[in-house]
Amino acid sequence: MTSGTSKGVAVALLVVLIAAGGVVGFVIGKRNVVTVSPSGRAAPAQIDRFSRRLNLSPEQRESVSKILDRTKATVQKAQSSGQSEILALLDDEQKVLYRKMLERRKKRIEKRRKRRGKRGKKRRRDREENR
C-alpha cells in the first residue's frame, strides 16, 4: 500500500467514524435518553421524570442520579480518547480542519440545549396553566 493510499484509507475511516458518531448522537438526542445540566450532573428534570414514571423512592432517586452522572463521565472519557486517536492519524492541515469540526459540533450542541431549555420552560408553564 502506498503512502497516498494509506492516507486515503485513513481519511475515509475518519469520515465514516464522524458520520457514525453523528448518527448515534442524533438518535440519542431524539430519544432524550439523558439530559445533562451545564454542571455535568444529570438534570433535575431527567431525575424528576424517572421518579414520576417509575415511582422511585428517595434512595432509588439518588442512586439513579449517581448512575447517570457516572455514565456521562464514562461517555466523555471515551469520546475524548477517540478524538485523541483520530488526531494522531491526521496531518497538521487535517488536524486544523478536525478541530474546527469539533468546535462547530460543540456550538450546535449548545444551541440545541438552549432551545430545549426554552421549550421546557414553556411546557412547564403550559402544564401549570392547565391544572
Q: Give pLDDT tens digits for 1-28.
A: 566 677 778 888 778 778 777 777 766 6
CA distance 14 to 7: 10
Whether 99 and 65 map to the same domain: the answer is no
Q: Give pLDDT tens digits for 61-115.
A: 999 888 888 888 888 888 888 889 999 999 999 999 999 999 999 899 888 888 8
**Domain annotation covers residue 45:** yes
Whether 69 and 50 map to the same domain: the answer is yes
**Domain annotation covers residue 54:** yes
**Domain annotation covers residue 3:** no
Whether 117 and 99 map to the same domain: the answer is yes
- pTM of the model as a whole: 0.46
C-alpha to C-alpha distances, 72 to 33, 66, 81, nearest whole angstrom:
11, 10, 14
Q: Which domain holds residue 40?
A: 36-82
**Domain annotation covers residue 10:** no
Whether 50 and 67 map to the same domain: the answer is yes
Cβ–Cβ < 8 Å for 72, 79: no
Whether 78 and 96 map to the same domain: the answer is no
Domain tally, the chain: 2
